[in-house]
Structure 1
Amino acid sequence: MVTPALRDDRGSATIEMVLLVPAFMLLLMMLVMGGRLALAHQSVQSAASEAARAASLERGADSEDRGLAAAKTFLSDEGLECSAVDVTVDTAGKASEPGVPDQFVDATVACDVPLADLALPGIGGSRSVSATASSPIDTFRER
Protein backbone atom coordinates (compact mmCIF):
# COMPACT_ATOMS: atom_id res chain seq x y z
CA MET A 1 0.00 0.00 0.00
CA VAL A 2 1.26 3.46 -0.98
CA THR A 3 1.24 6.11 1.66
CA PRO A 4 -0.24 9.55 0.89
CA ALA A 5 3.16 11.20 1.43
CA LEU A 6 4.49 9.57 -1.75
CA ARG A 7 1.64 11.01 -3.87
CA ASP A 8 2.10 14.57 -2.75
CA ASP A 9 2.03 16.94 -5.79
CA ARG A 10 2.97 20.10 -3.95
CA GLY A 11 5.63 22.10 -5.80
CA SER A 12 5.11 20.47 -9.19
CA ALA A 13 3.49 23.60 -10.64
CA THR A 14 6.51 25.63 -9.55
CA ILE A 15 8.89 23.22 -11.24
CA GLU A 16 6.80 23.29 -14.43
CA MET A 17 6.86 27.11 -14.45
CA VAL A 18 10.61 27.19 -13.86
CA LEU A 19 11.05 24.98 -16.93
CA LEU A 20 8.45 26.62 -19.20
CA VAL A 21 8.97 30.35 -18.59
CA PRO A 22 12.51 30.53 -20.09
CA ALA A 23 11.37 28.58 -23.15
CA PHE A 24 8.38 30.90 -23.56
CA MET A 25 10.57 34.00 -23.21
CA LEU A 26 13.02 32.64 -25.79
CA LEU A 27 10.16 32.05 -28.22
CA LEU A 28 8.83 35.56 -27.60
CA MET A 29 12.23 37.16 -28.24
CA MET A 30 12.64 35.16 -31.44
CA LEU A 31 9.27 36.46 -32.63
CA VAL A 32 10.38 40.02 -31.86
CA MET A 33 13.61 39.43 -33.80
CA GLY A 34 11.70 38.04 -36.79
CA GLY A 35 9.34 40.99 -36.77
CA ARG A 36 12.20 43.47 -36.56
CA LEU A 37 13.97 41.83 -39.50
CA ALA A 38 10.77 41.66 -41.57
CA LEU A 39 10.06 45.36 -41.03
CA ALA A 40 13.67 46.22 -41.80
CA HIS A 41 13.55 44.23 -45.05
CA GLN A 42 10.37 46.02 -46.10
CA SER A 43 11.91 49.43 -45.38
CA VAL A 44 15.16 48.54 -47.16
CA GLN A 45 13.22 47.31 -50.23
CA SER A 46 11.25 50.56 -50.34
CA ALA A 47 14.44 52.61 -49.91
CA ALA A 48 16.04 50.77 -52.84
CA SER A 49 12.96 51.52 -54.98
CA GLU A 50 13.08 55.19 -53.98
CA ALA A 51 16.79 55.40 -54.80
CA ALA A 52 16.38 53.79 -58.22
CA ARG A 53 13.41 55.97 -59.09
CA ALA A 54 15.09 59.20 -57.96
CA ALA A 55 18.25 58.37 -59.93
CA SER A 56 16.31 57.46 -63.09
CA LEU A 57 14.32 60.71 -63.00
CA GLU A 58 17.37 62.94 -62.47
CA ARG A 59 18.47 64.55 -65.74
CA GLY A 60 21.87 65.83 -64.71
CA ALA A 61 25.16 64.18 -63.93
CA ASP A 62 24.38 63.88 -60.25
CA SER A 63 21.96 60.94 -60.63
CA GLU A 64 23.91 58.75 -58.22
CA ASP A 65 23.98 61.45 -55.56
CA ARG A 66 20.23 61.97 -55.93
CA GLY A 67 19.64 58.21 -55.49
CA LEU A 68 21.89 58.05 -52.41
CA ALA A 69 20.13 61.00 -50.82
CA ALA A 70 16.69 59.54 -51.56
CA ALA A 71 17.55 56.19 -49.95
CA LYS A 72 19.05 57.72 -46.82
CA THR A 73 16.16 60.16 -46.44
CA PHE A 74 13.63 57.35 -46.79
CA LEU A 75 15.37 55.21 -44.17
CA SER A 76 15.54 58.09 -41.71
CA ASP A 77 11.87 58.94 -42.31
CA GLU A 78 10.95 55.31 -41.62
CA GLY A 79 12.85 55.43 -38.34
CA LEU A 80 14.90 52.34 -39.18
CA GLU A 81 17.93 52.13 -36.92
CA CYS A 82 20.85 50.75 -38.91
CA SER A 83 24.32 50.38 -37.46
CA ALA A 84 25.67 50.66 -41.03
CA VAL A 85 23.97 51.65 -44.29
CA ASP A 86 25.43 50.96 -47.72
CA VAL A 87 23.72 52.37 -50.83
CA THR A 88 24.95 51.58 -54.33
CA VAL A 89 23.37 53.18 -57.39
CA ASP A 90 24.29 51.90 -60.87
CA THR A 91 23.51 54.49 -63.53
CA ALA A 92 25.35 52.80 -66.40
CA GLY A 93 22.09 52.61 -68.37
CA LYS A 94 21.95 56.41 -68.56
CA ALA A 95 25.06 56.44 -70.74
CA SER A 96 23.11 54.99 -73.68
CA GLU A 97 21.73 57.16 -76.43
CA PRO A 98 18.13 58.36 -76.17
CA GLY A 99 15.73 56.04 -77.98
CA VAL A 100 17.42 52.81 -76.82
CA PRO A 101 14.80 50.77 -74.96
CA ASP A 102 15.21 48.58 -71.88
CA GLN A 103 17.71 50.68 -69.97
CA PHE A 104 17.51 50.68 -66.19
CA VAL A 105 18.98 52.28 -63.10
CA ASP A 106 19.71 49.74 -60.36
CA ALA A 107 19.96 50.55 -56.68
CA THR A 108 21.08 48.26 -53.87
CA VAL A 109 20.57 49.17 -50.22
CA ALA A 110 22.10 47.19 -47.35
CA CYS A 111 21.39 47.81 -43.68
CA ASP A 112 22.87 46.17 -40.59
CA VAL A 113 19.97 45.77 -38.16
CA PRO A 114 21.15 45.73 -34.52
CA LEU A 115 19.90 42.76 -32.48
CA ALA A 116 22.15 42.91 -29.42
CA ASP A 117 19.42 44.47 -27.29
CA LEU A 118 17.31 41.29 -27.58
CA ALA A 119 19.93 39.27 -25.67
CA LEU A 120 19.19 36.03 -27.51
CA PRO A 121 21.70 33.26 -26.91
CA GLY A 122 23.86 32.67 -29.96
CA ILE A 123 22.49 35.75 -31.74
CA GLY A 124 24.29 38.96 -31.11
CA GLY A 125 25.47 42.02 -32.91
CA SER A 126 23.47 42.60 -36.04
CA ARG A 127 22.05 40.98 -39.15
CA SER A 128 22.48 42.41 -42.63
CA VAL A 129 19.35 43.05 -44.68
CA SER A 130 19.70 44.07 -48.32
CA ALA A 131 17.47 44.66 -51.32
CA THR A 132 17.88 45.64 -54.96
CA ALA A 133 15.44 47.54 -57.15
CA SER A 134 15.42 48.74 -60.74
CA SER A 135 13.72 51.70 -62.36
CA PRO A 136 13.38 52.15 -66.13
CA ILE A 137 14.95 55.12 -67.83
CA ASP A 138 12.66 57.07 -70.12
CA THR A 139 13.42 55.89 -73.66
CA PHE A 140 12.60 59.28 -75.18
CA ARG A 141 14.45 61.43 -72.69
CA GLU A 142 16.32 64.53 -73.74
CA ARG A 143 19.95 65.29 -73.08
Structure 2
Amino acid sequence: MISAPALVLSSASPRSRKLRVLKRWALMAGGLFVVLLGILIAPLPGPGGVPVIAVGLMLILKSSFWAKRQFIRAQYARPKWVYPFRRLMRKKPEFAPVFWQQALRAEKVILTRRRRGLIRLRKGLRRYIRKLFR
Protein backbone atom coordinates (compact mmCIF):
# COMPACT_ATOMS: atom_id res chain seq x y z
CA MET A 1 0.00 0.00 0.00
CA ILE A 2 1.28 3.50 -0.90
CA SER A 3 1.19 6.19 1.76
CA ALA A 4 -0.45 9.57 1.16
CA PRO A 5 2.78 11.64 0.93
CA ALA A 6 4.13 9.30 -1.74
CA LEU A 7 1.01 9.90 -3.82
CA VAL A 8 1.46 13.66 -3.60
CA LEU A 9 5.10 13.50 -4.65
CA SER A 10 4.40 11.25 -7.63
CA SER A 11 1.46 13.32 -8.94
CA ALA A 12 3.68 15.64 -11.05
CA SER A 13 4.55 13.89 -14.27
CA PRO A 14 8.08 14.06 -15.64
CA ARG A 15 6.69 15.66 -18.80
CA SER A 16 5.14 18.62 -16.93
CA ARG A 17 8.37 19.08 -14.98
CA LYS A 18 10.34 19.19 -18.23
CA LEU A 19 7.90 21.73 -19.67
CA ARG A 20 8.32 23.96 -16.61
CA VAL A 21 12.11 23.79 -16.87
CA LEU A 22 11.92 24.49 -20.60
CA LYS A 23 9.62 27.48 -19.97
CA ARG A 24 12.01 28.81 -17.32
CA TRP A 25 15.01 28.54 -19.65
CA ALA A 26 13.04 30.13 -22.50
CA LEU A 27 12.09 33.09 -20.28
CA MET A 28 15.69 33.47 -19.18
CA ALA A 29 16.95 33.38 -22.78
CA GLY A 30 14.27 35.88 -23.83
CA GLY A 31 15.24 38.17 -20.96
CA LEU A 32 18.90 37.96 -21.94
CA PHE A 33 17.98 38.81 -25.54
CA VAL A 34 15.94 41.83 -24.41
CA VAL A 35 18.82 43.05 -22.20
CA LEU A 36 21.24 42.77 -25.11
CA LEU A 37 18.76 44.61 -27.33
CA GLY A 38 18.52 47.37 -24.71
CA ILE A 39 22.31 47.66 -24.61
CA LEU A 40 22.34 48.07 -28.39
CA ILE A 41 19.58 50.71 -28.22
CA ALA A 42 21.19 52.62 -25.31
CA PRO A 43 23.58 54.80 -27.41
CA LEU A 44 20.66 56.22 -29.40
CA PRO A 45 19.22 59.57 -28.28
CA GLY A 46 16.61 59.37 -25.55
CA PRO A 47 16.10 56.93 -22.71
CA GLY A 48 15.10 54.04 -24.99
CA GLY A 49 17.67 51.53 -23.75
CA VAL A 50 17.06 51.86 -20.02
CA PRO A 51 13.40 50.73 -19.97
CA VAL A 52 14.18 47.90 -22.38
CA ILE A 53 17.01 46.69 -20.14
CA ALA A 54 14.69 46.90 -17.12
CA VAL A 55 12.07 44.71 -18.86
CA GLY A 56 14.75 42.16 -19.75
CA LEU A 57 16.02 42.09 -16.19
CA MET A 58 12.47 41.53 -14.95
CA LEU A 59 12.09 38.54 -17.28
CA ILE A 60 15.34 37.10 -15.99
CA LEU A 61 14.29 37.78 -12.41
CA LYS A 62 11.01 35.89 -12.85
CA SER A 63 12.76 32.82 -14.22
CA SER A 64 16.08 32.54 -12.35
CA PHE A 65 16.52 31.50 -8.73
CA TRP A 66 20.06 32.94 -8.71
CA ALA A 67 18.75 36.32 -9.94
CA LYS A 68 16.06 36.29 -7.24
CA ARG A 69 18.70 35.79 -4.54
CA GLN A 70 20.78 38.65 -5.97
CA PHE A 71 17.69 40.85 -6.11
CA ILE A 72 16.91 40.18 -2.44
CA ARG A 73 20.52 41.00 -1.50
CA ALA A 74 20.30 44.24 -3.46
CA GLN A 75 17.00 45.01 -1.77
CA TYR A 76 18.64 44.82 1.65
CA ALA A 77 21.70 46.77 0.54
CA ARG A 78 19.96 49.54 -1.48
CA PRO A 79 16.19 49.54 -0.85
CA LYS A 80 15.63 52.93 -2.53
CA TRP A 81 17.21 51.69 -5.75
CA VAL A 82 15.27 48.42 -5.86
CA TYR A 83 11.86 49.81 -4.87
CA PRO A 84 10.92 51.10 -8.36
CA PHE A 85 11.61 47.68 -9.87
CA ARG A 86 9.48 46.03 -7.20
CA ARG A 87 6.63 48.43 -8.01
CA LEU A 88 6.92 47.66 -11.72
CA MET A 89 6.86 43.89 -11.13
CA ARG A 90 3.47 43.92 -9.40
CA LYS A 91 0.48 42.33 -11.10
CA LYS A 92 -0.98 45.74 -12.01
CA PRO A 93 2.02 48.08 -12.11
CA GLU A 94 1.60 51.84 -12.00
CA PHE A 95 4.00 53.12 -14.64
CA ALA A 96 3.33 56.85 -14.46
CA PRO A 97 3.95 57.29 -10.69
CA VAL A 98 7.14 55.22 -10.86
CA PHE A 99 8.57 57.22 -13.75
CA TRP A 100 7.51 60.50 -12.13
CA GLN A 101 9.27 59.54 -8.90
CA GLN A 102 12.42 58.58 -10.78
CA ALA A 103 12.34 61.85 -12.75
CA LEU A 104 12.13 63.80 -9.48
CA ARG A 105 15.06 61.83 -8.03
CA ALA A 106 17.16 62.40 -11.13
CA GLU A 107 16.34 66.11 -11.07
CA LYS A 108 17.34 66.29 -7.41
CA VAL A 109 20.72 64.70 -8.14
CA ILE A 110 21.50 66.75 -11.24
CA LEU A 111 20.11 70.25 -10.58
CA THR A 112 20.33 72.75 -7.75
CA ARG A 113 17.23 73.54 -5.73
CA ARG A 114 16.52 76.79 -7.59
CA ARG A 115 16.73 75.19 -11.02
CA ARG A 116 14.41 72.27 -10.35
CA GLY A 117 11.26 72.74 -12.37
CA LEU A 118 9.30 69.49 -12.34
CA ILE A 119 7.48 70.20 -9.09
CA ARG A 120 6.61 73.74 -10.24
CA LEU A 121 5.48 72.31 -13.59
CA ARG A 122 3.19 69.80 -11.89
CA LYS A 123 1.68 72.44 -9.58
CA GLY A 124 1.17 74.82 -12.51
CA LEU A 125 -0.54 72.11 -14.57
CA ARG A 126 -2.75 71.24 -11.62
CA ARG A 127 -3.82 74.90 -11.23
CA TYR A 128 -4.46 75.21 -14.98
CA ILE A 129 -6.62 72.06 -15.06
CA ARG A 130 -8.61 73.21 -12.01
CA LYS A 131 -9.35 76.53 -13.77
CA LEU A 132 -10.55 74.69 -16.88
CA PHE A 133 -13.04 72.54 -15.00
CA ARG A 134 -14.56 75.20 -12.74
TM-score where L is the length of structure 2: 0.34
Q: Which has the higher helix share?
A: 2
Bigger Rg over Cα: 1
TM-score where L is the length of structure 1: 0.32
Q: Which has the higher strand share?
A: 1
